[in-house]
Amino acid sequence: MEYCKRCVYPANAKPGIILDDDGICSGCRSFESRTTLKEQVDWASREKMFRKILTEAAEKQRAKGNPYDCIIPVSGGKDSTYQVYVVKEKYGLNPLLVSYNHTFNTPLGIRNLANLIEQTDCNLVRYSTAPGSAIRIAKYMLKLVGDVTWHYHAGIMTFPMRAAVQHDVPLVVWGEEGFSELVGMYNDDDFVEFTKKKRQEHSMRGFEPEDLLQRDDCPLTRYDLAPFFYPSDEDLERVGVRGIYMSNFLPWDGRDQAEFVINNLNFATAPERERTFNTYAKLDDIHANGLHDYLKYLKFGYGRATDDASNEVRHGRMTREQAIDMVEKHDHVRPFDLDLFLEASGMTEDELLAMIEPMRDPSIWAKNDAGEWVTKDSVANHRNEDGVEEARIPMIENARPFLHSPPSDDERSNFFEKQSHYVLL
C-alpha cells in the first residue's frame, strides 16, 4: 500500500484520494493550497457577503411575520455550538435549531445539546427515530453497505431541509463542508453549497429511502424511513430553500472552534477515547468513533485516528512520526460499543464479521494460513522512506494537538463511561 509522505493517509482512503508524483496526497495538497489561498483571500469581503446573506434572509422573514430568520442543523457538537453562537450573538439572527435524534446517544452528547440550548437560548425542533426503527435500519444498512449509522447521516442531512419547508424558512446555515479538509475534494474558492446530490453521494451511500423500499430484501417500512424522504423540488422552490456553508465565508479551523466553545460556552469533551486521541469531536453518537469507525477499519484498514492525525499533521500540530504512533495505538482497537450493538440487534460477532467480509479491500486485507484476516501493510512500515523529509512541513511553535475541557466537577468524569444501553432522549 502507498501512504502519503506528508500525512498518514493510505492510497485507498475514502471517498477518494490521489497521491501525486511526490507521494503527497490530494488532501494535503488541497490544505496547502487553501492555506496559501487563505492568505490571499479577502476574508473581510467574504464576511460582508455572509452578513448580507443573513441580513437579507432576516429582513424577508420578519417582513412576513415568521419568527425564524434561518435554520441551523445541530447535534450539540463543537461545530454546531460555534455556528449558533456566531449567527445569534455576532449577527443578531433568531435561528431555529433542528436536530435529528438517532437514538444511539451518549450521555455526553445529550449534555452538550442541552448546554447548547441553555447557552444560546434558542428554540429547538428535534425528531426522534423510534429505537426499533433505528436498530432495523442499522442492521439492514450494515448488510447493504457496511454502515450501522446510515440513519444518523441521512437524518441530519435530510430533516433540517424538511423543517425548512415545514416552517417556511429558506436559509439553512451549515458549518464546514467537510470533504475538502479530508481528501481535497473542493477548494475554498468553489463556494460549495448544500444540495440533494451532494447529500445523496456522501451521506446516503447512494441510497434514497425510495430505493430501499423497492428492494425485495428490505424489511423496512415507510414509517421506519419517514424522516429521510427529501422534500420535493416543488416544495423547495416554493420556499426558496438554500443551504450554505459558514466555512466559505469565515476562516475555519475545527480545533480553534472547539477551544472557543470549551472556554466560552461550557462545552465538555470526553476524558479519553478508544479509537482516536481526539476528545472533542463526534461525541453525541456512541458508534461514530466506535463501531462505525471500526467497520471502516475492517473494510479499508484505517480508522479515525488516521483521519484525526492527518489533520493535525497538516496544521503543523503533530509530526508524521507522532501521527504514526497514534495510528498504531488506536486504529485496530475493537470498541466496547460493538457488544452494545450486538446485544441490541440480536446478532453475534461472527454474523457481523461475515457481512463485512466481502467488503474488505483486497489491496490491504488478506487471509493468513490460519484463515484469519490480516493487514498486508501499515503506515508504520513507511516511517523513513524516501521523500518523507522533503514532504515535511514546519511545526507550529508550542502546538497542542491534544485538547480537553477542564475537569471542573466529578460529573464530567462520568460523561463517557462505557455504556450498558443506548440513551434514547
The predicted-structure confidence for 228-248, as pLDDT tens digits, reads as follows: 999 999 999 999 999 999 999
Phi-psi region for residue 218, left (φ > 0), alpha (ψ -120 to 50) or beta?
A: beta
pLDDT over 90, % of the chain = 80
**155 pLDDT more than 50:** yes
- Provide CATH 3.40.50 ranges for the chain: 40-248
Q: What is the DSSP letter of 331?
A: T
Any bridge partners for residue 174, and if so which?
245
pLDDT of the residue at 252: 86
Dihedral over Cα of 409, 410, 413, 415: its sign: negative
Which pLDDT band, with edges at 50, 70 and 90, does 356 fall under?
very high
Q: Which cell goes with 65? A: 411575520
Which pLDDT band, with edges at 50, 70 and 90, does 370 fall under?
very high
pLDDT of the residue at 403: 72
Torsion angles phi and psi, residue 325, rounded to 5: -60, -40
CA distance 305 to 332: 10
**37 pLDDT more than 90:** no
Nearest to 74 by CA among 122, 138, 134, 129: 122
**414 pLDDT more than 60:** no
pLDDT tens-digit readout, 241-270: 999 999 999 988 888 899 999 999 999 998
Span 40-248: which CATH code? Answer: 3.40.50
Which pLDDT band, with edges at 50, 70 and 90, does 38 fall under?
low
Cis amide bond preceding 15, omega within 30: yes
User: Can you give the length of the chain in residues?
Assistant: 425
When comparing pLDDT for 165 and 183, which is higher?
A: 165
Torsion angles phi and psi, residue 356, rounded to 5: -80, -25
Q: Is 394 exposed, middle or buried (0-12, 13-18, 19+ CB in 10 A)?
A: exposed
- Kindly list the distances between the CA atom of residue 393 and the CA atoms of 11, 21, 23, 31, 322, in Å, as whole numbers in the listed order: 20, 17, 14, 12, 14
Q: What is this structure's pTM?
A: 0.91
Q: Which residue has the cell 451549515?
A: 174
Which pLDDT band, with edges at 50, 70 and 90, does 415 fall under?
very low
pLDDT tens-digit readout, 175-188: 987 655 554 455 56
Mean pLDDT, the chain, as a whole number?
91
pLDDT tens-digit readout, 282-328: 999 999 999 999 999 999 999 999 999 999 999 999 999 999 999 99
pLDDT tens-digit readout, 96-154: 999 999 999 999 999 999 999 999 999 999 999 999 999 999 999 999 999 999 999 99
Helix or strand run (H / E) with residue 297: helix 291-300
Strand stretches in 311-418, DSSP E: 365-367, 373-375
CA distance 241 to 165: 7
